[in-house]
Amino acid sequence: MSVYVIGHKSPDTDSVTAAIAYAALMKAKGEDYVPAVSGKLNPESEMVLKQFGFATPELLTDATGKKIALVDHSDLTQAPDNLNAGEVVAVVDHHKIGDVTTNQPIFFFNMPVGCTGTVLKILYDMEGVKVEPKVAGLMLAAILSDTVNFKSPTTTDADKKAVKELAAIAGVTDTEGLFMEMLKAKSAVAGVPAMDLLHRDYKDFDMNGKKVGVGQLELATLDQVADMRDALYNAMKEQKGTERHSVLLMLTDVVKEGTDLMVISDDPALIEGAFGDKLDGVSMWIDGMMSRKKQTVPNLQKAFGC
C-alpha cells in the first residue's frame, strides 16, 4: 500500500514541496511514497512547481484507511480529515509538537529551524541520499519563502547552510532573484478586483466593543498597487459600511520591510495615536511593520483600551 505524504490544510509552498521532497527521498530508498496536497495551491506554490518542472500533487482530503506521512505539521486540526481512521507512519516538521499520537513506533523528526525544507536537507544527508536537482530547487524555494529570504526571526544558521547547498545542487545562482519571482507570484494583483484584494488575507476584530477590520497584502513593491489605490479605498469604504468603526489595509512592502497602512475610520486620530504617526492623505508609512498578528493588532488593542 502506498504511503501518502501530505502537508497541512490551506497548503503553502513548504507543505507542498516537502511532500514531494520527502516522497522522493523515500522512493530513493525503495519505498512506495506518493506526494499529496490537502487543498488548492496558492499562486506562489503554483509558480514554484512550474519553475522546477513539477505537476500539482494528487488531492487527498480524507485519511480513512490510508497510510499517511505528515510533513510541516503534527496537529490533528491541520491534518487530513479522519486521520485516526488511517495510520500515521512518519512525521517530518519544524513546528511546535502537536497532538498527533500513534500506536506504533514511527519516524518522527522535528527540528526548531525555519522550514521543513531545511529538516529534509539534513535528513537526505543523514540517509546518504543525493537530492535530485529539481527537488533541491523546490526545497530551496520553500526555505526562502518560510524565512522571507532570511528576514524572519525564525531563520537559523541551518536554514542558511541548506539554502547554500541546495542552490548549488539546483544550479540556482541568484536566490535573491528566485525569492523576488516567488514574491511577485504571491503578490500578483493585476486584474484582481479591489474587494478580492482587500479580502485576500482579512480578519475582523472586536476592539472593546467596536468592530475593526484589518486586511494585509504582501507586495514586492508598492508600485504594484499604485494605480489601484482609489479602487482599494472604495472597497474599504464599502466594507466599513455603518457596521464597522474602522477598516485598515496593510500594504506591506516585503523588500523595504515596512507597511503603507491605509485607514478609513470613525476616529482617524485614534488610529494615528495607535501607531504614533499622522495620516498622509488616507495612509501612513510605518517602517518595520510586517506582521498583523504581532504588530498591528496589539497596537490597536492598546489604543482601543482592550
Give the footprint of a copy of itself on this chain (CB under 8 A).
Answer: 88, 91, 94-113, 122, 126
CB-nearer residue toward a copy of itself: 39 or 98: 98
Q: Which helix (H) or strand (E) holds 263?
A: strand 258-265
Q: Which three cell numbers stand for residue 240?
A: 466599513
- Give the shortest CB-155-to-a copy of itself separation in angstroms: 13
**SS3 category, 280:** strand
Minimum distance of a copy of itself from residue 154's CB (angstroms): 8
Asked if 182 and 47 touch (Cβ cutoff 8 Å), the reply is yes
Nearer to a copy of itself, 1 or 126 (CB): 126
- Cβ 205 to a copy of itself shortest distance, Å: 23
Q: Shortest gap between Cβ of 118 and a copy of itself (angstroms)?
A: 12
The least distance separating a copy of itself from the CB of residue 28, rounded to whole angstroms, comes to: 18
Which of 42/156 has CB closer to a copy of itself?
156
**C-alpha to C-alpha distance for 162 and 85, rounded to whole angstroms:** 36
Say if residues 88 and 68 touch (Cβ distance below 8 Å): yes
Query: Minimum distance between the CB of residue 294 and a copy of itself, rounded to whole angstroms?
Result: 15
Residues 195, 137: Cα–Cα separation, whole Å: 34
Check: CB of residue 90 under 8 Å from CB of residue 69. yes
C-alpha closest to that of 303 among 207, 189, 216: 207
- Backbone dihedral angles phi then psi of residue 96, each to the nearest 5 degrees: -60, 160
- The residue among 122 and 270 lying less far from a copy of itself, judged by its C-beta, is 122
Helix axes 116-127, 133-146, angle to 10 degrees: 140
DSSP-derived 3-state class of residue 232? helix
- In the complex with a copy of itself, the residue whose CB is nearer, 93 or 260, is 93
**What span, in angstroms and rounded, lies between the C-alpha atoms of 29 and 172?**
26
Taking alpha carbons only, the member of 18, 79, 94, 93 closest to residue 54 is 18
Report the residue number, 158 or 194, with the smaller CB distance to a copy of itself: 158
How far apart are CB 230 and a copy of itself at their closest, in Å? 43
| Nearer to a copy of itself among residue 88 and residue 236 (C-beta) | 88
> How many Å apart are CA 215 and CA 15, to the nearest integer?
24
The residue type of 228 is: M
CB of 119 to a copy of itself, least distance (A): 10
- Please, which residue, 56 or 154, has the CB nearer to a copy of itself? 154
CA distances (Å), origin 198, targets 192, 242, 275 = 10, 18, 21
